[in-house]
Structure 1
């Protein structure tokens, strides 16, 4: 049995309630494409019954279903990396399990890759997220583009398609923290984007809290650009020059008017502002150093507990531990 043309990779984390609806829509949508495909579900250390539901689905469709059970939660992007490393298709599509991106839209991305594009992103139309999340996403898109020069209209949409060459390039990277769409874009020679529909989450709640979104954007900024560090270097030089001029001004003023007690609280305000700025810069430097520390330890990015898949030579499942 040869490799399929299409691999669909879906990370799953505590999605027990929404998985049956995903199955009901995903398999018919892929069957309608009339091409060989495989679906790789990666359970990212779920604490509900998601793994059991995935196992049950594997029993029903072992011909096109593969399930990777991670031993612990590794995060969405590392779960996708696990899927990349086990995928066999020429076209690899990533999809969230919450049904906000309809599986029926996968065909649009597949056709775009067939046209010769090696990295195909998607742009959500009429987003069903909160106003705060839409505006925050737009602001982060603009900031990210200025800092990293990576042009993605909608960085938060994980419905994306990649050619086999791009996935192999990603697999060759050994980064312990990364942002896959940006990493793929850095390798792409013919990127493209398509518009896709967007729906409300079918069940459950978003796994990305405000803190998690901030952390994700820190990963994006610090993994693909040194601009934040360079900005603080330039800012430090500018403040040093201004401070030197301010000291000269105070010295001349003292010689001209003599000692005075006025302006003490203004100086306190300036001092507190500079202290806060310094602490923020030290924190940013710590982000980069922390990533270096994680990288040099060479710990595995994820651990696989088991793999459920159909053998190529036998009509049975294999469980690897």
Structure 2
């Protein structure tokens, strides 16, 4: 098969209301670039008519359209990994199907790659998200940078461009759960970022709940650093030293003042606080053990039902 210059990878999950708007903007934007391209749609087990709409679009533009149909819902990042493993382009761009990132900005990312960068991230110019997403995103960006030393101004924006070398390296990784932008950044030699537009959803609702965002950031932190475990080791040492001094203090106080019951509630409060720290540390350790458990099972990351593509 011929090798296109650009591959655009788009995961799709229950996006039937907005797919036609995506087609109407995406194909003209890529045609204007006057370069060879392919668009790889990955249907991530949609329960609406998304798969049927993608089949119809493939029949309209089979020369530049490919569709990967999962037989279940495996998640956005696994869908993108499937796109990476099946795309053929020299430059690869990831894009969400909800049109929050304008397809017209793809040309800006590719132009930046022509300057010699192998990874181009994006920063949303004016985020059209709720206030709690702004606050949570800024807090997690700061925490992630301190823990993993991966510098991404806007980790939630999926409009990004990658060189073929980075994609080939990512495809060699067999991790079950990972955070693709951070993984790519760790392999990049000349990364950069540009500002892109951000619009309200054209149709449908966000597929990321608060729980999903928390799980994603756990994958990010536990998948790229053991600093959280080291932090709790240091906290454990500090609490142990403090507890030793506190026990000595209570013994001396008992010898001087004598038996007393007034401090009982204070001791309960301290005990509950320490128990809370211990439980949180056990939960964090469980996150790492859970990742190990998922890796050693060696189960496939996704299952493909069919691939729609034009045979040469």
Length-normalised TM-score, structure 2: 0.99
The alpha carbon displacement at 1:2 in A equals 2.3
Matches within 5 A, 1:104-183: 104-183=104-183
Q: Deviations over 1:54-111 (max 9, x none)?
A: 0000000000000000111111001000000001000000000000000000001111
Question: Matches of residues 113-262 of structure 1 in structure 2 within 5 Å?
Answer: 113-262=113-262
Q: How does 1:238-317 map to 2 (within 5 A)?
A: 238-312=238-312
1:254-301 Cα deviation digits (max 9, x unpaired): 111211111100100011111111111100100000000000000000
Partner of 1:52: 52
Distance in structure 2 (CA, Å) of the matches to 1:168 and 1:116? 18
Moved more, 46-55 or 252-261: 252-261
Consecutive unaligned residues of structure 2, counting only runs of 5 or more, are none
Number of the residue aligned with 1:316: none
Residue 26 (structure 1) aligns with: 26
Q: How large is the Cα RMSD of the aligned pairs?
A: 0.6
Alpha-carbon separation, structure 2, partners of 1:12 and 1:243 = 53
SS at structure 2 position matched to 1:184: helix
Question: For 1:182-205, what per-residue CA distance to the aligned partner results, in whole angstroms no more than 9, with x for missing partners?
Answer: 000000000010110110000000
CA distance, structure 1, for counterparts of residue 175 and residue 296 of structure 2: 10
Q: TM-score, normalised by structure 1?
A: 0.96
Q: Tell me how far 1:21 sits from its aligned partner.
A: 0.2
Match of 2:42 in 1: 42
Work out the number of aligned pairs and report it.
312
Structure 1, unmatched stretches of 5+, are 313-321
SS for the counterpart of 1:310 is coil
Deviation at 1:12, TM superposition (A): 0.3
Q: Secondary structure at the match of 2:129?
A: coil
Q: Distance in 2 between matches of 1:2 and 1:71?
A: 28
Measured in 1, the distance between the counterparts of 2:251 and 2:119 equals 61
